[in-house]
Structure 1
Amino acid sequence: MSGNIRYYSRRKKSKKNQIPIGISVIIAIIAFGIYLTTKSSHLGLYWVIGISFGFILQRARFCFTASMRDPYLTGSTSLTRAVLIAFAITSIAFTAIKYGAHINGLPIPGQDYVVPISLTTAIGAFIFGIGMVIAGGCASGTLMRVGEGFTMQILSLFFFIVGSLWGAHDFGWWKRNFIVKGKSIFLPDIFGWFGGLAVNLIIIGIIYILAVKWENKKSEEI
């Protein structure tokens, strides 16, 4: 017993101090950010946003894959509800931005990205969902875990890039033969600006309530 205690004590003492490494990384991040700012103020801003976003994702363990996967595997819907809250906040913010441009007679930001939706959208989402679960992360989750040093995620990131390049190369064919045959749906065109936002928030709210009920049900089964 005493031998085991001395063994674990030696292991604990031999643990390296990571504070100097962390300080070095912070200094490198700041230095590189200053360098980017000398090239372009936008690059410096993008660098700060990217670092901040990555830090928040890592500390919050925020992952879109987990938000869809956990309800089935563990019964937990905490990440699912977090994603829904994020959707609700961004829906309000983007509606305000778009409506502001609309009432001022300016081009509506992102209007070009209102694309047709059809069965191909559902099929693509299903295939992507399978890939996310097998890879263990979506785009944000993969990037976060690459930063943490997960070698499996490095492999996932490589094929993520390969698949994205392949998809971009063939996108024109898919658009001509499948995507344009769907129907474009822009909720403000159907329900008005405030009506469209209300419908969107109601749908998010219903899914949120169902997520809570699902977690409670799974907890009772356990």
Structure 2
Amino acid sequence: MKESTITRRKNQLPYAMALLLTLVIFGIYLSRAGKILTVRWIFGIAFGFVLQRSRFCFTAAVRDPILTGNTSLFRAVIIAIAVAMVGFSSIQFAAHLSGYPVPGMIKPAGVHTLLGGIIFGIGAVLSGGCASGTLMRVGEGHLLNLIALVFFIAGSAAGAYHFGWFKEHIIKSARPVFLPDLMGWGAAFFGQLALLFILYRLALWWDYKSRAQ
């Protein structure tokens, strides 16, 4: 059994080398159109590799604690949000102190946010993954996720096509939410960090409790 496994892995080496050569050639081709395309190409490949090796998936992060009791992905998401929040908050606060408009996607929050989250959550659970998880599993050759990707694209295209109607009749009446305007910069920043810390501790507690059962 071990010998056959080793042989199968060796037989995959030419395919890996051919794929690597194809990626390099295509990267060189993109560099002729613009160096920024090559940078994006390299970043996309590296991001996909890390995503596949880490098995990172936002849907699994929320699903696994309920199904298996494992909160490792959920805690990883919390850490990622905390790191991103610190970085973006620093940029926004620096712009605020300088008198510049605060950068960021400050969008209205309302019924459409809740409804969209519910629909997306149901679809993600039925398809077995979110956008990142679906792309990662398509790269691994999962046919079910390939079907999910097709309908993911179709649904996104339909949503983009009808977005004007939703914006005019639903989103327009909602109010943009920016926590520093509601709570102040200090309360918004440290309040979010405190909430994330509490969620992290609860995730650890849930993990230990699930393993003890």
Q: TM (normalized to structure 1)?
A: 0.88
Q: Which has the larger radius of gyration?
A: 1
Shift of 1:91: 0.5
* Equivalent-residue separation in structure 1 for 2:6 and 2:191 (angstroms): 58
Partner of residue 5, structure 1: none
Contact 1:36/1:44 (<8 A) preserved: yes
Which residue of 156, 171, 174 maps to 1:179?
171
Paired residue secondary structure (2:11): coil
Shift of 1:102: 2.9
Partner of residue 98, structure 1: 92
Of residues 171-180 and 138-147 in structure 1, the stretch that sits farther from structure 2 once superposed is: 171-180
Partner of residue 205, structure 1: 197
Output aligned runs, 1:16-35, within 5 Å.
17-35=11-29
Q: Over aligned residues, Cα RMSD in angstroms?
A: 1.8
Percent same amino acid among aligned pairs? 46
Partner of residue 67, structure 2: 73
Q: TM (normalized to structure 2)?
A: 0.92
Partner of residue 126, structure 1: 118
* Equivalent-residue separation in structure 2 for 1:85 and 1:9 (angstroms): 39
Output aligned runs, 1:50-65, within 5 Å.
50-65=44-59
* Equivalent-residue separation in structure 2 for 1:93 and 1:159 (angstroms): 34
Q: How big is each residue's C-alpha offset from its partner over 1:83-133, in whole Å with a ceiling of 9 and x where there is no partner?
A: 0100000101111222233333434322xx211112331121111111001
Paired residue secondary structure (2:162): helix
Number of equivalences: 212
Partner of residue 4, structure 1: none
Shift of 1:217: 2.0
Q: How big is each residue's C-alpha offset from its partner over 1:54-76, in whole Å with a ceiling of 9 and x where there is no partner?
A: 11000000001100110111011
Of residues 139-148 and 28-37 in structure 1, the stretch that sits farther from structure 2 once superposed is: 28-37
Letter of the aligned partner of 2:137 in structure 1?
A: R
Q: How big is each residue's C-alpha offset from its partner over 1:123-164, in whole Å with a ceiling of 9 and x where there is no partner?
A: 211111110011011001111111111111111000000000
Q: How big is each residue's C-alpha offset from its partner over 1:21-44, in whole Å with a ceiling of 9 and x where there is no partner?
A: 112211211221122122112211
Unaligned runs of 5+ in 1: 1-7
Shift of 1:9: 7.8
Of residues 125-134 and 201-210 in structure 1, the stretch that sits farther from structure 2 once superposed is: 201-210
